[in-house]
């Protein structure tokens, strides 16, 4: 009787676990299998191709909309994102106007009326400061900044859906700043830290500094970002706190630089990142270094347009907001400990993707909390039956 009761208990438990697991899987996988068709091409000037300049165009075609990602490897590195509501929109380049850094309009997306949203992120400067007192407060000990538009950039190397471009600083032998753009056709998660969750409406940019000789003994770096967005500029940085750090151990926050209509909370476009940078290319938990950002502030549009070819070509009168991302806090090791620093961000349209628990965590919690309850229930039933049986065998029957 006891064995049968226990066997029934085990069977019920297994069924419950399997049922919960399957329902969780369908809940998680079935949410957004929206896929886009991606085509990657390098556009060159047909008349006289200047060697070394590549215009990368990634076209992500959906059912009735298209996302265009554009990247040019001359000038300050810029990622331009254009969202159109037609699945047959194209990018047109007027090369003479495009290469002339003083006139705008060289880059257009046809049909112009189909443009829903556009935004661009520019990496304008790399600041370095000597943190003698180890406070990570960047005050006035800045070295002259590296202007990224003056770097000599190599050709874009494509591999599948990722594009890699590296540049070296002027007057330096070794040491490079590299950018890797990854486009995605569906929802997924990157394999390497910080394992940002991406959707089909976003692409990931990884920036890393490798081997650049620091100019001070206690150098820390700061990256200056500038962004422009169609009608509404990227005006504020939201922070989202999460209890879940299983994809980026010990990081519980995620920051989103969003552009939204005045007064509304609908997000038109975003730049998303986690406040962590890594000091090795294949990092372990101890190689993580926290990073901070400053508040977005308006910048001079003319200056940005002068440094970035794509901004000049696409926007006529851009409204630029800029912020600084500084790497390292007080007490953290300096740049010269590993001579490597990498940081990842996600750029996209619409609302940023939201993280959720992995099936593993959910399963463990359900099993762990459910089993004692089931045991309690079964035990109670079993004891009740046992007592009843004992009472019935021990009691004497009346004689008459």
Partner 1 sequence: MADFGERRNLLGDEDEDEDSFADRQAARGPGRLMAAICDPSRLLHRVVVLFFMCFLGFGSYFCYDNPAALQSQVIQDLNLNTETFMQLYAWYSWPNVVLCFFGGFLLDRVFGIRMGTIIFSLFVCVGQVIFAAGALVNRFWLMEAGRFVFGIGGESLAVAQNTYAVNWFKGKELNLVFGLQLSMARLGSTVNMNIMGWVYNQVALAVGSSGHTALGGSLMIAAATCVFSLICALVLAFLDKRAEKILNKEQGKTGEVIKLTDVKDFPSTLWLIFIICVGYYVAIFPFIGLGQIFFIEKFNFSPTQARAVNSIVYIISAPASPVLGFLVDKTGRNVVWVMIAVIATLAAHIMLAFTFWNPWIAMSLLGVSYSLLACALWPMVAFVVPEHQLGTAYGFMQSIQNLGLAVISITAGAILDSRGYLVLEVFFCACICIALMSVVMLYFVDYIKGGDLNRSAAARAKLLKESTTDAEVRRKPSQVVQSERARLAPMSAFGLRNRYLSRLGAQLPYHCSTHLSSLAHRSVLK
Residues that bind partner 1 (CB under 8 A): 241, 243-252, 284-286, 333, 360-361, 364-365, 368-369, 371-372, 375-376, 379, 382-383, 386
CB distance 258 to 228 below 8 Å: no
CB distance 291 to 328 below 8 Å: yes
Of 42 and 237, which CB lies nearer to partner 1 in the complex structure?
A: 237
Q: How far is the CB of 379 from partner 1 (least distance, A)?
A: 4
Q: How far is the CB of 6 from partner 1 (least distance, A)?
A: 11
Of 5 and 154, which CB lies nearer to partner 1 in the complex structure?
A: 5
CB distance 124 to 224 below 8 Å: yes
Q: How far is the CB of 283 from partner 1 (least distance, A)?
A: 11
Q: How far is the CB of 271 from partner 1 (least distance, A)?
A: 23
Q: How far is the CB of 346 from partner 1 (least distance, A)?
A: 19
Q: How far is the CB of 367 from partner 1 (least distance, A)?
A: 8
Round to whole Å and give the CA distance between 257 and 284: 27
Q: How far is the CB of 383 from partner 1 (least distance, A)?
A: 6
CB distance 181 to 204 below 8 Å: yes
CB distance 355 to 252 below 8 Å: no
Round to whole Å and give the CA distance between 38 and 20: 36
Helix (H) or strand (E) holding 271: strand 267-273
Of 54 and 287, which CB lies nearer to partner 1 in the complex structure?
A: 287
Q: How far is the CB of 8 from partner 1 (least distance, A)?
A: 16
Of 164 and 374, which CB lies nearer to partner 1 in the complex structure?
A: 374
CB distance 305 to 124 below 8 Å: no
Q: What are phi and psi of 12, to 5 degrees?
A: -60, -40
Of 300 and 390, which CB lies nearer to partner 1 in the complex structure?
A: 390
Q: How far is the CB of 382 from partner 1 (least distance, A)?
A: 7
User: Which residues, listed in sequence order, are joined to residue 320 by a DSSP beta bridge?
Assistant: 228, 299
Of 369 and 399, which CB lies nearer to partner 1 in the complex structure?
A: 369
Of 143 and 386, which CB lies nearer to partner 1 in the complex structure?
A: 386
Round to whole Å and give the CA distance between 167 and 157: 12
CB distance 337 to 330 below 8 Å: no
Place of tokens 């991302």: 325
> What is the rounded end-to-end Cα distance, in angstroms, of the chain?
33
Of 137 and 246, which CB lies nearer to partner 1 in the complex structure?
A: 246
Of 162 and 242, which CB lies nearer to partner 1 in the complex structure?
A: 242
């Amino acid at each position: 009787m006891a064995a049968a009761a226990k066997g029934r208990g085990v069977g019920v438990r297994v069924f419950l676990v399997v049922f919960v697991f399957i329902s969780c899987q369908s809940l998680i996988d079935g949410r957004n299998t929206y896929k886009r068709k991606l085509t990657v091409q390098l556009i060159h000037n047909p008349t006289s191709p200047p060697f070394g300049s590549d215009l990368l165009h990634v076209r992500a075609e959906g059912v009735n909309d298209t996302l265009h990602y554009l990247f040019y490897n001359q000038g300050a590195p810029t990622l331009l994102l254009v969202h159109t509501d037609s699945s047959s929109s194209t990018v047109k380049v007027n090369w003479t106007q495009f290469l002339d850094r003083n006139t705008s309009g060289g880059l257009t997306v046809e049909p112009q009326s189909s443009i829903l949203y556009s935004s661009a992120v520019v990496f304008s400067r790399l600041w370095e400061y000597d943190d003698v007192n180890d406070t990570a407060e960047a005050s006035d000990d800045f070295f002259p900044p590296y202007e990224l538009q003056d770097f000599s950039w190599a050709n874009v190397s494509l591999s599948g859906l990722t594009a890699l471009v590296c540049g070296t600083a002027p007057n330096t032998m070794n040491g490079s700043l590299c950018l890797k753009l990854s486009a995605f056709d569906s929802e997924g998660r990157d394999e390497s830290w910080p394992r940002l969750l991406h959707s089909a409406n976003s692409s990931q940019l990884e920036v890393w500094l490798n081997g650049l000789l620091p100019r001070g003994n206690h150098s820390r770096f700061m990256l200056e970002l500038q962004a422009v967005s169609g009608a509404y500029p990227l005006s504020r940085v939201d922070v989202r706190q999460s209890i879940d750090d299983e994809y980026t151990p010990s990081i519980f926050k995620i920051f989103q630089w969003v552009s939204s209509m005045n007064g509304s909370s609908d997000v038109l476009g975003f730049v998303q990142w986690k406040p962590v940078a890594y000091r090795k290319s294949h990092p372990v938990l101890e190689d993580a270094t926290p990073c901070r950002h400053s508040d977005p502030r308006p910048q001079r549009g003319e200056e940005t347009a002068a440094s970035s070819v794509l901004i000049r070509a696409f926007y006529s009168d851009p409204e630029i907001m800029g912020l600084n991302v500084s790497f390292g806090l007080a007490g953290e090791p300096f740049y010269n400990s590993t001579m490597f620093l990498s940081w990842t961000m996600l750029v996209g349209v619409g609302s940023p993707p939201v993280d959720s628990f992995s099936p593993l965590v959910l399963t463990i919690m359900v099993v762990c909390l459910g089993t004692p309850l089931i045991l309690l229930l079964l035990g109670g039933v079993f004891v009740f039956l046992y007592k009843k049986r004992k009472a019935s065998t021990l009691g004497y029957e009346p004689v008459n």
